[in-house]
Amino acid sequence: MNTVLFPGSFDPFTVGHASLVARALLLFDEVIVAVGHNESKPGWLNADARVRALRALYKDCARVRVESYSGLTTDFAIAAGAKAILRGVRSLQDFEYELHMADINRQLTGIDTVCLFTEPQHAAISSSVVRELAHLGRDISPFIPAGYNIPADVAALPAHHHTPTPPSSTTTSCYTPHTTGSEA
């Protein structure tokens, strides 16, 4: 099986992340969304909550597997049977960082990195921006995939936060990125 590992903190998982997963499914047989767990970096959502939310989001998509891990990403990728690591690139700075990481990863284990450029409509979206908006009491539903439910008991979540309910017309067994109508 041609499997790619998509690692990240996904704190929270955004529409940009979901777009990368959907596009990776066009290239690979399986995508493993690997939620990194780092004890020294407490997240907005704990790793278990992120894994649960992602498993619920992709519950009907047999080609997407959600796992958590700690330690070196390359070690986990090899143990999981991945042929490559997937990374998204939003900017020149992202590209330079990912290029250096890809070189190190290849030297360590021989695993390659596949970079997909972020779709323009998602280029400004990052987990840190979404967290900041939530902390300021803004509605973050445009920036997280429909069906990705942030637990109501997240202490940092403003009381008037709106957790989106997926519209029935756009709900699919595998999340697909939004299109502008001009895309094929």
Q: Give me the residue spans of the domains in the chain.
A: 3-143
Instruction: Please pick, among 40, 41, 160, 182, the residue that the annotation labels catalytic.
Output: 41
| CA–CA gap between residue 29 and residue 72 (Å, rounded) | 23
Residue 10 three-state SS: coil
The upper half-sphere exposure of residue 150, i.e. CA atoms within 13 Å in the direction of its Cβ, equals: 27
Q: What is the pLDDT of residue 162?
A: 41
Residue 129 has pLDDT above 70, yes or no: yes
Instruction: Please pick, among 87, 122, 127, 131, the residue that the annotation labels catalytic.
Output: 127
How is the chain split among helix, strand and coil, in percent rounded to 5? Answer: 35, 15, 50
The pTM of this model reads: 0.83
Calculate the average pLDDT of the chain: 84
| CA–CA gap between residue 127 and residue 105 (Å, rounded) | 24
Residue 181 has pLDDT above 90, yes or no: no
**17 belongs to the catalytic site:** yes
Instruction: Output the DSSP codes for 134-152.
Output: HHTT---GGGS-TT-PPPT
Instruction: Please pick, among 90, 138, 161, 178, the residue that the annotation labels catalytic.
Output: 90
| CA–CA gap between residue 33 and residue 10 (Å, rounded) | 9
Pick the CATH number of 3-143 from 2.60.120.10, 3.40.50.150, 3.90.1150.10, 3.40.50.620: 3.40.50.620
**127 belongs to the catalytic site:** yes
Which residue spans within the chain are E strands per DSSP?
A: 3-8, 30-36, 64-69, 84-89, 112-117
Q: What is the pLDDT of residue 177?
A: 52
Instruction: Please pick, among 9, 17, 19, 87, the residue that the annotation labels catalytic.
Output: 17
Residue 37 has pLDDT above 60, yes or no: yes
